[in-house]
Structure 1
């Protein structure tokens, strides 16, 4: 028996030591980089940062600024067919040498939509200025709108001074902030349609009496030669940028296998912005997976035990999770490797019927979130007190105006007390049953987890659970024979 005890203790120690490795989370992949000074890949659907290099350092954005300009314009314009007249300042108050690719002139008239195509596909500074004046009343007024928008998006490392992205000592952003801006921009369907267009046209202008057709400048989107260094078939939309001070900057949105990614590179001085972007997009698509939250999360929405959220108690059947929400994790990881936090302090603009937000992290890295909704009405109108001169419910004014209770059926006091006693007893019994059931369910779950851990530990040392049960049965038989 003593020898058997030694064997069992040793086996437990081996299993325990092996379980440390078995249940460790896989590391977050980091085996790539960019030659640009800063770069980021953000998952479009979860918002998780998959790759990061100097993502919080402020850099000069150049013309990728125009994505923010387009977002502010679209969100503040009732009709994209409204007409915009180009002022002298919009055309000529630009940095020397910044160009005017479509030869736009003071007095030209284009629709808001046409200006957006010219600005995003050809990076027209004149179109950016004209849109800013039209939407903001002035260029400075529009810049204020830009900075309010980035603050609303959670950007803390950005300040914009003009709508075009031309050099300015105060115009700065970070790769992280630019990814937030780009994610919001490409979630806008009108902006996505425009920024993913390969070729567009404008009607006649002063210097283009026959109109003008032009193409997208972003080479990952327009090059279809598989042998080209710029070929990237998964690219969907994006924006280029360059100034003498900023170097090359680039924003790219790509989709592969049902997943979307935003890539940003800042300050490429060796023109590696395209190759850098391809490298980190491939890294993100190859090394990570998206997992649907509603398909995997069981807390709060399953079982029979009531849950309390924000001071309100719900049955699990009254709660459900946003079916589109996902988390992004390494391919080697599973949903249970993520840690979850329930956030009950919601912003004023939270979705209707939302009662909380589930926020997920992986090794202290945010990897996604999902709203927790209820099917129950969020508020019940309170019964208003009777107005002056009205009688409380259940009473009628007497003929003499005294307001005494009208004659009617009265429940005998002893019977009323007995009924209350029965209800109290029923409540106690129900509460006890729920408590016992909760303890039983918890014990079942604990036993299930123990069985799973034992199975995993046995697998790690080459045993099956059947082998283990067989050994135990043989030991029991030997003991009974003694």
Structure 2
């Protein structure tokens, strides 16, 4: 009988497809769920393939940046939100949906690093807690063991280079005692920095629908972190090793995930700091710091697909470095002259005055390349809360409605805020009252009769005691005589 192999082969292929499809899907889901921090690092081939369309703009239409009259028109980027901020002045050179709330993913760790730098010494010892090792969704980690001891500095490297969630968790417990207390510290510090859109609930950025931030807030947080030299040192490090300890005999090697810092296709000259982030819901988030032409810029992009984060960031840096310049206010030619300024004091309406211009602290402005310093409007901010006697004030410069920098200037004698005279009067008025109190605490007339009554009472008591003793003596004597007579 002739063997019919074709129907058998078809049945085998159908069975293979039927059983292999769910297994493949399950494996894919497990892989996605365990990758917290950089899909573009841990699944590099897939990320490249997935980003090919977004780089050409065929899969989605890029949205133009927020525009302002008289300001250079920014480029289109694929990221749903983005910002470029100049570090020394805080000037916003580019923005797109900068206050929109998104899941930040692992760029959250910049805030965790900031609190560590502000509250710890680098050589402080951090003990890894049980929860850090056995998190339900551990994501990116460096395989720390329960009870293992690391320095704060090692934890910073683990967070910033390898995006280690276990290191972030251990550091948060070390600083705050609990994750909830540490999250409170994060939110309080964010408010102090002027953040308007953030709510942090964990130190690492693992998915939580309550854990949100914005491009604007992340730029403010990064700007503050850059004030710490250790943050710059750690962020720009390409490779680092945590040395073996008594509880961890193995070396822990780590490489920086940020591809614009490392050599390669996406390297960008001048990049000196940054942090990557990725979750399935947040997609790719990226913070990058670059320096060129005496300007340091912070670029934040949120919700991007794959390697497009680097393409968008490079596009924004090229635009800002090509279209803006940083100007020293002291070299503007107005030093020692009188300038006309708008004066703003508290809630009072603005008024115009001419004042001598003398800088007491260095100040800068960032301008579009075509703009001149004379195009700026100086706004003098007087704030009586700056101290008991204010001899200087902040001179803020505006180009249109946008603040582009500021300087602290010396005020003329007529504008110096001196202590309120009411305060002095209150002090002098309180002196007579104090004298009265002292007088009130002196000798009282009724002390005399009170003393006499006390003396009489004491004398009476003494008399009664003596009389009782005499009576007892006589009673005992008579009793003794009666006993003698009987004998």
Q: Which of 118, 122, 146 does residue 80 from structure 1 map onto?
A: 122
Residues 431-459 of structure 1 show CA distances to partners (whole Å, capped at 9, x for unaligned) of xxxxxxxxxxxxxxxxxxxxxxxxxxxxx
**2:358 match: secondary structure:** strand
RMSD between aligned alpha carbons?
Answer: 3.3
Structure 2 CA distance for aligned equivalents of residues 54 and 336 of structure 1: 31
Q: CA deviation at 1:91?
A: 2.0
Whether the 8 Å CA contact 1:26–1:330 is kept in 2: the answer is no
The 5 Å alignment of 1:259-274 reads: 259-274=295-310
SS in 2 for 1:27: coil
Alignment partner of 1:250 is 2:292: no
What is the deviation of 1:295?
2.4
Q: Distance in 2 between matches of 1:207 and 1:273?
A: 39
Deviation at 1:385, TM superposition (A): 7.0
Counterpart selection for 1:342 from 380, 390, 406: 380
Partner-residue secondary structure (3-state), 2:196: coil
Q: Does 2:190 match 1:111?
A: no
Shift, 1:211, TM fit: 2.1
* Gap regions ≥5 residues in structure 2: 1-67, 347-352, 433-487
The Cα shift of 1:176 comes to 1.1
Deviations 1:9-38 (A, max 9, x none): xxxxxxxxxxxxxxxx99311141211111
TM-score normalized with structure 1 length: 0.66
Shift in Å, 1:378 = 7.9
**Deviation of residue 192 (structure 1)?**
1.8
C-alpha separation in 2, matches of 1:127 and 1:261: 28
Indicate the residue corresponding to 1:135 in structure 2. 175
Matches within 5 A, 1:384-423: none
**1:96 aligns with one of 125, 132, 137:** 137
Q: 1:286 aligns with which of 322, 330, 345?
A: 322
Larger radius of gyration: 2
- 1:148 is matched with 188
> How far apart are the structure 2 equivalents of 1:128 and 1:176?
23
Q: 8 Å contact 1:220–1:235 — kept in the other structure?
A: yes
- Cα pair distance change 1:346/1:218, threshold 3 Å: farther
Q: CA deviation at 1:71?
A: 0.5
Using the alignment, how far apart are the partners of 2:273 and 2:83 within structure 1? 16
User: Does the CA-based 8 Å contact 2:127-2:149 persist in structure 1?
Assistant: yes
Structure 1: which 5+ runs fail to align?
1-24, 389-482
Tell me, what secondary structure is at the counterpart of 1:294?
helix
Aligned to 2:110: 67
Q: Does 1:34 align with 2:72?
A: no
What is the Cα deviation at residue 302 of structure 1? 2.7
Query: Counterpart in 1 of 2:402?
Result: 365
Q: Measured at CA, do residues 176 and 309 of structure 1 come closer, stay the same or move farther in structure 2, by a change above 3 Å?
A: closer
Greater Cα shift, 54-63 or 192-201: 192-201
Deviation at 1:164, TM superposition (A): 0.3
Secondary structure of the structure 2 residue equivalent to 1:281: helix
Tell me the matched-pair count. Answer: 352
Q: Which runs of 4+ in 1 moved over 4 A?
A: 205-208, 307-311, 314-317, 350-354, 374-388
Cα distance in structure 2, aligned partners of 1:270 and 1:215: 19
Instruction: Using the TM superposition, give the Cα deviation of residue 296 of structure 1 relative to its aligned residue in structure 2, in angstroms.
Output: 2.1
1:331 aligns with one of 369, 394, 399: 369
- What do the CA deviations read for 1:77-98 (whole angstroms, capped 9, x no partner)? 2x210101001012223x5251
1:56 aligns with: 99
2-structure distance, mates of 1:378, 1:189: 36
| Cα pair 1:61 1:165 within 8 Å, conserved | yes
2:226 counterpart (186, 189, 198): 186
Write 1 or 2 for the structure with the bigger share of helix.
2
**Counterpart of 1:240 in 2: which secondary structure?**
strand
